Structures are given as C-alpha cells and as structure tokens.
Structure 1
Amino acid sequence: MWTHTPWQGRFLPHPLPPGERLRAYATWCNAVEGNTTFYATPAKSTVESWAGQTGPEFRFVLKLPKPITHERRLSGADDQLRSFLETVEPLGPRTHALWIQLPGSFGPADLGALAGFLRGLPRSHRYAVEVRHRAFFDDPRAAGLLERVLAGVGAEWIPFDTVTLFESPPTSDAERDAWTKKPRVPRRSSALTDRPIIRYLGRDSVERTVEGWRHWVDVAAGWLREGRSPTVFVHTPDNADALMLARRFHDEVRALLPELEPLPEPMSAEPESSELTLF
C-alpha cells in the first residue's frame, strides 16, 4: 500500500527507490495492512527490507495467502503455511497479527475447519479473522459460535465496516467498483482481545468519510481507556486521501485522550533541497 501512486509527490517524496518507500510511509502511519501477501508470498529478502525500513514498534497486519484461505479453505495447506511463516520471520515483533480473511462462502458450517486450523497455528504469532458470510452478522447463534472458536485461541474478529459506503448510491468510478466487490454487512464493534483491529471504508468524499467514522472514534477511545491497543485502518474507495485521513482519525481520538502519543512527524513530499539557477 505504501507504493500507492496518488500519494507519490503529494504525501510522499517522489521518486524514491523501492527500499525507501516504506520508510517514508512509516513517518505518516505506524501500521500497515499487508494485502499483497494474499496474492503472493514475498521473497524473504523483501521482508528483510521491510524490517530494515521500520522500527520494532511498527505494526504489520499481514494477510495469509489466498491458496490457504480461499483455495484450500484452511485444509491441507501445511506447506504453504510453513513457507509463509518462515518468510515473515524477519519482521519479528513488527508482525502485529496474521490476518485470516475468509471468503464470503465460508459460513457457520465451516467453523470446525477454522477451529482446527487455529489450534494448529504456532503460538508465536497473534491471529485475527475476518469473515464475510452474512450469517455471522444476522444470526446471534452463529456469531456466538464464532466468538467461542476465536476466544479459545486468543484470536480477534476483524470487522470490515462498509456501512458508510453503502448508505447511498455511488458517485464515482471507484465507489461504483467498491459497491460490486466489498461486503455489505452490519457494523460490528466488539473486541475479543486486547488488540482489536478495525477496517473502515468510507467514501471518496472526505466529509462523508469523517462523518461515518464518528462511531469508531468513540469506540477506539473507549478501548484505549480499558487498556487495549487498537489498530484502525482507514480506507476510501480510491484511497487518494487515506494517509491524511488516518492521521486525522488519530487526532480525533487524541482530542478525547490527550495522553495518547502523537504520530511521528511526516516526511515532506518536497525535496530536501534544490538549487535555483537562471539557465
């Protein structure tokens, strides 16, 4: 995500060599979603570069590869899982959680497979599960069964809040695309562990995105007061303003909790120096 083209030259310096792009991003935000790992397990040298560009307090929430979660549906994927875990090892404490995003067809009848998979995972990592099957949101019994499976191994349930996106018809190409791809499920805001993770998707309008996250500002502040350490990811359909919005969200939480540490001073997108000449 730190290579998102609309950010280059606007929020982040451009051009930057690949080995410096995450370092620049980390001056804006202290966490990142590792979505690319869903499509391919990176080379270990790439992961070593990520570790070298970030401090030990930086948070990676890395998505398990698609062959494990969607193709094999958590069964018979030992080799792929072992390879992935070995590859991300250089991140050390930066691996805040491994993110198990399940397909929309993965429903209550599949909870046995999820329970067995989670029990077999090494305890050296934290795990967080994102479900998209509507039954987990509409059926209290299904939700309760899922919560018990997760609580049994100390795993978190990641809500993906798309309520603001679907409040009214889309008004941009990016919003129209999101309408066809993102899950339309009710908002859920209960934490199971001391490290809750929120994924919030707003609109391409800054004002509507900010209006839609008011609920999460209060929730995040409440979790912090309880001693939890939440991680909140702010998205819009085009993500053009996501860096600025993430910092604004943090500022709004900090307005309720002044003792919350500020984010680092962001790196300027402008060159450090330039020479002016007549010719």
Structure 2
Amino acid sequence: MRLHVGCAMWTHTPWQGRFLPHPLPPGERLRSYATWCDAVEGNTTFYATPTRNTVESWAGQTTPDFRFVVKLPKSITHERRLTDVDEELRSFLEAIEPLGPRAHALWIQLPGSFAPTDLGTLAGFLRRLPRSHRYAVEVRHRAFFDDARSERLLESVLARVDAEWVPFDTTTFFQSPPTSDAEREAWMKKPRVPRRSSALTDRPIIRYLGRDDTARTIEGWRHWIVTVTEWLREGRSPTVFIHTPDNADALMLARRFHEEVRSGLPELEPLPEPAPIEPAESAEPLTLF
C-alpha cells in the first residue's frame, strides 16, 4: 500500500537551510529533496526538453520507486495543440528515457481554450502514443466540469488508453480574496474550476492548491484525506502534490498530508526520514504553527 506525495519542484530558496542543507550543488538537490518526498512534478520540461545527461542525473539521485510526473513541452500541448508534433514528441521521449520506471506518468496539461470540440484531436494524439508509458491529462476548460456530456466524453477518451484525468483542486484557494503578494499573483493565474475527485485508473494523481496560511491549507484538504484513504483501501496507489502560492511550507505540508492519511491507515508504508541538517541559530523552528 503506497501513497506518494510531493511538490511542484525539488529546489526552492525558502527551503534552503531550513528543510534542506545549504549550500548544495545542483547534482545533489534532488537527492536531498527525495529524503522528504517520494514524488515531484516535472514542470521544467514544459518550458524546454531537458538534455539526456540532465535526466540521467535526475535518475541517479532517486530510487527506482520515486515518481516523476513529467509535463509534456508547451510546444506540443499549447503551441501546436497536439497536431504535427511527432518530431518534438520523439525528442522528448528519448530525453526522458533514463528515468525508466521513475517516469510514473507523462502529464498532458492542456490550455484553457482546449474545449470539448477538440476531443477528437486529443483522442487521436493519445492513440498514437507508445504504450510504454502511462499518461495523465489535465484540462482547464469549464465545460468539462460544468457539462455532464462533455465530462463523459472526456472520460471515454481517456478510458480507451487507460489514461488518468488530473484534477487541480483550487477550491480552497479561491474561497476568499488573496492576502499576500504570492496569493495575488496566483489569483490571476490559477484555474478556477470545480473540484473533481473521481479516479479513472488505479494510479490517480491529485494537484491541490492551498493558501499561504498553513492552517487553512490543512483544513482545505480534509476532503482529499478521506478520498485518498478510500482509494488506498480499494487497492489504488495515488500520488498527491501539495501547492501553496509561495510554496514556502509545501515540502513539510506534503509530509503532513501523508502522515494524516497514515494515521487512519497504519499499514500504509511510511515516508523515508528526512536527511538531518543543522539549522542556523536564526532559522525558524521546523513547525507549521
């Protein structure tokens, strides 16, 4: 019984010297992060396909059961909108090959303008993908959440290739106006869609956005604690990514989420113990409150 948890990145300035040793050379940062969490979102690949040497370094810093959910480049999903992308896709798949089993799912995040009328394009793209990988699709067009027929059609397209629908739950974040610069920036950029909590496969993936107030973040994920616990009891193996607008406490919050699920499921395999560091005298204590 495995629950994997992680964050949107494995290196973040507010974590240095607080959660993770500082300084750390680039080739050791992911290794240190992986003592805290056993999954990470591969957001950097959205902006550029990494070199094979870079990906080999990622693999070398993690164990085979570590999970990368790797985002397809925006040139494929946003610029070409899944059409005429064979060369870009081939280059991307070759680059990430060194991850091996660590590439838990290839993440197809679609733009908000990608509508139900585009489902034929998505279906054709998914059919052409190699079956050597798992796939997960994130949509942001409101019709997929508000219109039952559009929802069913998308689920049908995904089910044909055993792909997962990745929800980005921002409902807690949008419950009240922003109170910090990071929250104000996120307010303008993050999708405002209803919560979705149905799994299509045995490996669901959740992205949850809380607030910079850690207590509000924890209160807002109660629904997911229940849902993830149910999935685990059904034999599924979920991956949950915890976000906040500034992500300052995201690393600790991800572990807190895992601990809350495990408190109700003691048989759940625990996370590894974080690598110890000696905090500076002026550093804040490692507490959420």
Classify the TM-score, shorter chain.
Answer: over 0.9
The separation in 1 between residues aligned to 2:209 and 2:22, in whole angstroms, is 27
After superposition, what is the alpha-carbon deviation per residue over 1:61-104, rounded to whole angstroms, capped at 9, x for unaligned?
A: 00000000000000001100000000000000000000000000
Letter in 2 for 1:81: L
The separation in 2 between residues aligned to 1:5 and 1:261, in whole angstroms, is 29
Residues 1:101 and 2:104 aligned together = no
Shift of 1:267: 1.1
Letter in 1 for 2:194: P
The separation in 1 between residues aligned to 2:125 and 2:261, in whole angstroms, is 36
The separation in 2 between residues aligned to 1:189 and 1:2, in whole angstroms, is 26
Task: Describe the SS at the equivalent of 1:166.
Answer: helix
Shift of 1:54: 0.3
**Aligned residue among 174, 178, 190 for 2:186:** 178
CA RMSD, 1 decimal: 0.7
Residues 1:150 and 2:158 aligned together = yes
After superposition, what is the alpha-carbon deviation per residue over 1:16-59, rounded to whole angstroms, capped at 9, x for unaligned?
A: 11111000000000000000000001111000000000000000
With CA pairs under 8 Å and 6+ residues apart, which has the higher RCO, 1 or 2?
2
Residues 1:136 and 2:144 aligned together = yes
Residues 1:126 and 2:131 aligned together = no
**Aligned residue among 81, 86, 91 for 2:94:** 86
Paired position in structure 2 for 1:239: 247
Residues 1:261 and 2:239 aligned together = no
The separation in 2 between residues aligned to 1:180 and 1:27, in whole angstroms, is 33
Equivalent residue runs for 1:1-279 within 5 Å: 1-270=9-278
Letter in 1 for 2:196: R
Shift of 1:269: 3.0
Letter in 2 for 1:220: V
After superposition, what is the alpha-carbon deviation per residue over 1:153-177, rounded to whole angstroms, capped at 9, x for unaligned?
A: 0000000000000000000000000
The separation in 2 between residues aligned to 1:252 and 1:246, in whole angstroms, is 10
The separation in 1 between residues aligned to 2:105 and 2:72, in whole angstroms, is 10
Stretches of structure 2 lacking an aligned partner (at least 5 in a row) = 1-8, 280-289
The separation in 2 between residues aligned to 1:125 and 1:25, in whole angstroms, is 24
The separation in 1 between residues aligned to 2:264 and 2:88, in whole angstroms, is 44
Shift of 1:268: 2.1
The separation in 1 between residues aligned to 2:191 and 2:25, in whole angstroms, is 35
Identity in percent: 81
The separation in 1 between residues aligned to 2:72 and 2:164, in whole angstroms, is 15
Stretches of structure 1 lacking an aligned partner (at least 5 in a row) = 272-279
The separation in 1 between residues aligned to 2:43 and 2:277, in whole angstroms, is 24
Letter in 1 for 2:92: F
The separation in 2 between residues aligned to 1:165 and 1:177, in whole angstroms, is 12
The separation in 1 between residues aligned to 2:126 and 2:278, in whole angstroms, is 46
The separation in 2 between residues aligned to 1:3 and 1:217, in whole angstroms, is 26
The separation in 2 between residues aligned to 1:119 and 1:5, in whole angstroms, is 40
Task: Describe the SS at the equivalent of 2:41.
Answer: strand
The separation in 2 between residues aligned to 1:33 and 1:267, in whole angstroms, is 21
Paired position in structure 1 for 2:286: none
The separation in 1 between residues aligned to 2:163 and 2:271, in whole angstroms, is 27
Work out the number of aligned pairs and report it: 271
